[in-house]
Structures are given as C-alpha cells and as structure tokens.
Amino acid sequence: MRRIIIILFTLLLLIFSLILGCSKNEGEKEKIIIAKINGNNIYRRDFIDYYADDKIPEYPPNVKRKLLINMIIDKLIAEKITSDSKVDDDKIKETISAHYKGPVSDDVYEKLKKIILLKGYIKESISFDIPEKEIKDYYDSHSDKFFTKESVLVSQLFFKDESVAKKIYKLIRSDHSKFSEYANIYNEEPYKSKNGNMGWMERGELPTALENVVFKMRKGTVSKPTCSDYGYHIFWLKKKVYSKSIPFENAKERIKRKILENKLNLRYDEMIKNLIKDNEIYVDEEYIYK
C-alpha cells in the first residue's frame, strides 16, 4: 500500500511538473520576437491576435510571410494617421462616392480609405478628373474588351438514362408544349422548379461539349440528346443574341472607373514602397520557416 502511495505521489509530481513546463513553454512562445519596426518589437502573440487565428504559426512559409508583411504595412500606415485626419466610415463613403462614380470593390474601397486617412496625402494623390482623350485612347487600345458576348435563352431536359432521353426527344421535337411538363418530371433542382429554364447563358458559361451544341442551334429548335459527364441533355433554344461592339459613349463610365482603379493601385503601391524604404523593418526568417 505504501509503495502504491509513493508511486501515485511520484506521478502527481511528474504531471504537475509537466503542466508547469507546458505553461512555461507557452509563456516563452508568447515572448518570441518575430519582427521589428524601427526597433519596436512584434511578438508571436501580436501576430496571432492580429488575425485572430491560432493556426497562423502552422501556415506555409510563403503565406506566413505575406500575412506578417501585410500586418507590418498596416501598422506603418496606422502610424502615419493622426487624430485630426480621422473621419468616420460615412464620411469616407461620402468622399469616395463624390468622386468615384459607380460601384467600388471592397479591395479598392479599403485602399481608398487608407489613402484618405493619411494626413494631406489625398491632396497630392490621383486626380479624379480623367481627360476625355485618355478615356478614348483606352477604348481604342482595348477595343477587344468592349463588346457584348453572344447569348442564348435556353431551357433543358436532363436524364440519367440515354434510352429515356431518346424516347422523350421523339415526343417533344414536334410538340414543344410538352417540354415544361417533362422538365418537372425528369429534371433535378434547381431546373425542375423552373420548368427547365436555364435563363440567359453567355459564351464561356457552359461546359465546352454543351456549348458547342447550344450555340449552333437555331432559335425555336430542340436539340437531340447530348451526352455530358453529368448525363443526357435536351436543349430548347428560345432566343439568341449575337455579339456586338459596345459604343464608346456607353463604355465611358466603365473605362473611367478602370483608369481610376489602375492609377489608385499604382499610387497605393508607390506609397507602400516608400513606407517600407523609409522605415527599418526586420523579419525573423527562422520563425517564418519553422
């Protein structure tokens, strides 16, 4: 009995020492310096907390480095922001919408927001007034991008069995009114509840084997059963719109947004390069590859 007590006591001491050891190791991990900005330490815990992701230390080196650099850049930008330049999100949105017509992607909005928040930077930043000639030059040099794609309004019947597909094709090729009826029987969702209607499809949206069939069809015709990796399809082509160029006047706003976005990205990249060049940055490569 005494021997058992001694063994149990020894085991308790061992477990207790292991717990203390783990706690100590975790504490030491939190004190690991993984980067510095102008001599100011960035700790492993800072990195994890910044992204609220305990798995970050396990990420591949290239991903880990990219995330760390992004964190450093955000800190550099934040340091340049002064209290008198801070405005709320509504004010930022108002400033952007006043000069940047049309929808703005989340990525572009965040870049604009950071630039606006930098004291005085917006005054020497890009001009929102794009000359007509610059817009026209862009249109002329990118003419292949300004056209509507060939489109079709199409419905389909879908079958798993080829013999059933051939049987139904014989019934509907001369009587399209039965198409919707069979669509509700043989189709799978979501097309079953839509009477087989696939809606408007542009070139490039369908698998090649199916696209080659659909875009060769004439308006109002029904295709023979077409095999794909999924099963067998019968298509009914209801309408067809051919590709045509988009007039300059209709493309102007789209081009202006694109030019502004390109200038913004160049200006933003320039700002980041200058911030990195003008500040002393250290990254622990050993930590990156751990």
Region of poorest pLDDT, from 20-24, 67-71, 103-107, 184-188: 20-24
94/236 same-domain check: no
Is residue 87 one of the residues assigned to a domain? yes
127/267 same-domain check: yes
Is residue 47 one of the residues assigned to a domain? no
Total domains in the chain come to: 2
91/124 same-domain check: yes
User: Mean of the pLDDT values across residues 222-226?
Assistant: 93
100/239 same-domain check: no
Is residue 75 one of the residues assigned to a domain? no
User: Can you give the pLDDT at residue 99?
Assistant: 66
159/119 same-domain check: no
129/166 same-domain check: no
236/152 same-domain check: yes
Is residue 128 one of the residues assigned to a domain? yes
The two structure tokens encoding residue 157: 């019947």
Q: What integer best gives the mean pLDDT of the chain?
A: 80
Cβ neighbour number for residue 108 with a 10 Å cutoff: 18
Q: Edge to edge, what strands does the sheet with 281-283 contain?
A: 40-43, 33-37, 281-283
Is residue 177 one of the residues assigned to a domain? yes
Its pTM stands at 0.51
Is residue 110 one of the residues assigned to a domain? yes
Q: Which residue has the higher pLDDT, 76 or 128?
A: 76
255/125 same-domain check: yes
214/260 same-domain check: no
Q: In whole angstroms, how far apart are CA 18 and each of 22, 167, 266?
A: 6, 74, 54
Q: Which residue has the higher pLDDT, 14 or 281?
A: 281
pLDDT tens string 76-119: 877 766 444 555 677 777 777 776 667 777 777 776 776 666 64
- Would you place residue 20 in the very low, low, confident or very high pLDDT band (cuts 50, 70, 90)? very low
Q: Are 234 and 156 in contact (CB under 8 A)?
A: yes
241/100 same-domain check: no
205/167 same-domain check: yes
165/187 same-domain check: yes
User: Can you give the pLDDT at residue 155?
Assistant: 93
User: Can you give the pLDDT at residue 8?
Assistant: 36
pLDDT tens string 246-269: 999 999 988 988 888 788 778 778
Full domain range(s) for residue 193: 147-245
Is residue 134 one of the residues assigned to a domain? yes
Q: Which residue has the higher pLDDT, 57 or 77?
A: 57
Which CATH number goes with the domain that contains 199?
Answer: 3.10.50.40
Question: Which ranges constitute the DSSP H helices of the chain?
Answer: 2-30, 44-51, 61-80, 89-99, 106-117, 132-141, 162-172, 179-186, 208-214, 248-278, 285-288
